[in-house]
Amino acid sequence: MPESNQNLDNEFVEYIQKAIENEDMQSFREEFLDAHPYDRAKFFIKQRRKIRFQLYAYLSPEEMAEMFENLDIEDQEKLLEEMDPAYAADMLSKMYADDAVDVLNELDKSQVVSYLTIMDDEAAQEIKELLHYEEKTAGSIMTTEFVNIPANLSIREAMNHLKHEAPEAETIYYIFVTDEDLRLAGVISLRDLIIADDDLKIHEVMNDRVVSVSVSEDQEEVAKMMKDYDFLALPVVDFQKHLLGIITVDDIMDVMDEEASDDYSKLAAVSDMVTVDRNPFSAARKRLPWLIILLFLGMLTASLIGRFEDTLDKVAILAVFIPLIAGMAGNTGTQALAVAVRNIATGDTEHESKMKLIAREAGTGIITGAICGLLVVLVVYLWHHDVYLGLLVGISIFATLIVATLAGALVPLVMHKFNIDPAVASGPFITTINDLISILIYFGMATVFMQYLTR
């Protein structure tokens, strides 16, 4: 659950806790069900297991479903484990199908089969249809609980149809119009439907330039489309334009949160930060693969430094500036990486030439490298009174920042070109690669300046 607004109203908490202690189910239900589902969920999950068992008897599966949707997935799994299976299956069947699918996707297949077997056939069939879509596609996040109306109905007939179907729909702000073959033909807003003349036909007032997404479209692309068009809902169609479902803005908010967490995880070189690992062994198992890769890359850097052992023996002062050179390379590379990944994620690279982006980053590297290089030359000269040492470090910084900036921009662009998630080019990965490059540049320049440093 969100961290904000975590303090429930004290009067509300005291009242329902007293009702629970007195086993006054009627007073509890009156106050508890009057609260927002999010507040109910916050209160419920904080109760002891013994109290929760008491509350299961007080709340119907339908009432529990409304509250259950406002819980984190970890809390949902915990509650499912302690619920009576029949009660849990009934509750899942009362949830919106897409929300129930989100929960079931986190469970073992045996648990999913068990719940689908117990719940009523109509709900189970609806959930099964959504479960077979590939994860992170439009099909996996759409809901089939929506209102569609035939194009040949009158406005009056459509209003009657809407009144009948609305209680089961997830949203009615947009009503999608279909032809005789259930193909998507248009869309009409609730506002336009209300103000239109009752005797007009739907096809006369609908907007036939309707934007839709394919059922196999990646959820991140769907999120971009809804952001660009400011939609509250988006229709999902198959390759023949049959209307299969809709994606609502609340589902897209979850997608954006999930994608942001996923990208942040990769940028931090952690496989999964969506869930919190309370088990240190589980957390270590997820982090170790990247750390081991980075360990071997670090050993490669150490081996590279070892090749310049003779240079270091002759001019020991060079060792002092290794952390500076490597650190600056890592920092500027990570900055360029963050900009490139963001541009790819927001679709900006589609509106701007990739060569223009690379040229811009190269220019940024030249400017930052020149300024930092000049500052280093001045500082080193004032510190060691050695103009050649200052020039060595300054030129190395200049060259390193240019190369590191280009690497930070190019790596994610190349990965994106080959349909690899650019966030995989994580900060630690880019930093380690730039360490190698910076050390090579630094000691390469040191070799050139050696005759002046050893005089």
Name which of 228-232, 315-319, 361-365, 376-380 the model is least confident about.
Answer: 315-319
Cite the beta strand spans of 145-273 per DSSP E: 148-150, 174-178, 184-189, 213-214, 233-237, 243-248
pLDDT at 115: 93
Domain with 251, as residue range(s), is: 148-258
Query: Is 242 part of any domain?
Result: yes
Cite the beta strand spans of 182-232 per DSSP E: 184-189, 213-214
Question: Residues 71-92: what's their mean pLDDT?
Answer: 92
Query: Is 271 part of any domain?
Result: no
User: With bands split at pLDDT 50, 70 and 90, how would you rate the model's confidence at 4?
Assistant: very low
Does 272 score more than 60 pLDDT? Answer: no
With a threshold of 0.85, does the pTM exceed it? Answer: no
Name which of 106-110, 273-277, 375-379, 439-443 the model is least confident about.
Answer: 273-277
User: With bands split at pLDDT 50, 70 and 90, how would you rate the model's confidence at 43?
Assistant: very high
- How much of the chain exceeds pLDDT 90, in percent? 42
Residue at a domain's end among 106, 135, 164:
135
pLDDT at 203: 92
Name which of 215-219, 282-286, 320-324, 389-393 the model is least confident about.
Answer: 282-286
User: With bands split at pLDDT 50, 70 and 90, how would you rate the model's confidence at 455?
Assistant: low
* Same-domain status, 308 and 401: yes
Query: Is 263 part of any domain?
Result: no
Distance of CA 9 to the CA centre of its chain: 31
pLDDT at 2: 37
Query: Is 427 part of any domain?
Result: yes
The more confident residue out of 136 and 429 is: 136
Question: Residues 413-432: what's their mean pLDDT?
Answer: 70
Query: Is 275 part of any domain?
Result: no
Taking a C-beta distance cutoff of 8 angstroms, is the pair 216, 172 a contact?
A: no
Question: Residues 159-171: what's their mean pLDDT?
Answer: 89
Tens-place pLDDT, residues 358-404: 888 889 999 999 999 999 999 998 988 888 899 999 999 999 999 99
Write down the number of H helices and E strands in the chain.
23, 6
* Same-domain status, 125 and 18: yes
* Same-domain status, 157 and 105: no
pLDDT at 360: 87
Q: How many domains does the chain have?
A: 3
* Same-domain status, 126 and 175: no
Distance of CA 418 to the CA centre of its chain: 21
pLDDT at 24: 93
| Cα–Cα distance measured from residue 397 to residue 84, given in angstroms and rounded to the nearest whole number | 65
The tokens of 63 are what?
A: 């009432």
| Cα–Cα distance measured from residue 266 to residue 272, given in angstroms and rounded to the nearest whole number | 8
- Provide the H-helix boundaries in 269-353: 280-307, 309-314, 322-346, 348-351
| Cα–Cα distance measured from residue 339 to residue 410, given in angstroms and rounded to the nearest whole number | 11
CATH number, domain with residue 74: 1.25.60.10
- What H or E segment, with its residue span, contains residue 136? none
Residue at a domain's end among 135, 167, 194:
135
